[in-house]
């Protein structure tokens, strides 16, 4: 059974984020300042995160996920903003035959609207995933480990 206290929620979030940050090189001297620079969080928020005391505001999740090498949706689930079933129920466009390759380009916001994503959390999640997908592809070393950081834990 999971701990239903706010501290338990923070503990579960940090159990995912802190090892990922460590694996991404945010350890040792200067790592706190690098994380401040890479995520836009202030120093006290980064300090409380690294000490396992606080979950940062959701607006920092895309940058935090990028720094930690995690999927932003994983952070939303870890912070209990989205239910765990959300990750399990996701399908790719090719799995449900809704791909419209060659139909012209649209903005991510237009895509969210076209997919019927109208709530703020849903839009944030969708746009964060789009940004993650637009980022540079993983190094060859990452290709040898297709499970990703979260799968190694």
Please state, in angstroms and as integers, the Cα–Cα distance from residue 129 to each residue in 1, 43, 71, 126, following that order: 30, 26, 7, 5
Query: At 42, which CATH number?
Result: 1.10.260.40
**6-23 helix and 61-68 helix, angle to the nearest 10 degrees:** 40
What pTM does this model have? 0.56
Total of domains in the chain: 1
Q: Which domain holds residue 68?
A: 6-135
96 falls within a domain: yes
Per-residue pLDDT 10s for the chain (153 aa) are 455 667 888 999 999 999 999 999 998 889 999 999 999 999 999 999 999 999 999 999 999 999 999 988 889 988 988 888 777 665 444 355 455 555 568 888 888 888 888 888 888 888 888 888 877 655 545 555 555 555 554
């Amino acid at each position: 059974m999971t701990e239903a206290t706010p501290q338990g929620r923070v503990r579960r979030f940090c159990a995912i984020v802190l090892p990922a940050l460590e694996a991404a090189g945010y350890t040792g001297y200067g790592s706190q300042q690098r994380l401040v620079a890479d995520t836009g969080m202030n120093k006290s928020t980064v300090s409380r995160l690294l000490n396992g005391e606080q979950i940062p505001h959701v607006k920092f999740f895309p940058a935090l996920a990028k720094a930690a090498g995690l999927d932003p949706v994983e952070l939303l689930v870890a912070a209990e903003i989205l239910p765990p079933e959300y990750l399990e129920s996701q399908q790719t466009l090719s799995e449900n035959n809704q791909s419209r390759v060659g139909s012209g380009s649209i903005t991510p916001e237009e895509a969210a609207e076209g997919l019927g994503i109208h709530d703020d959390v849903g839009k944030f999640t969708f746009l964060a995933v789009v940004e993650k997908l637009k980022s540079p592809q993983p190094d060859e070393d990452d290709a040898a480990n297709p499970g990703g950081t979260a799968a190694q834990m």
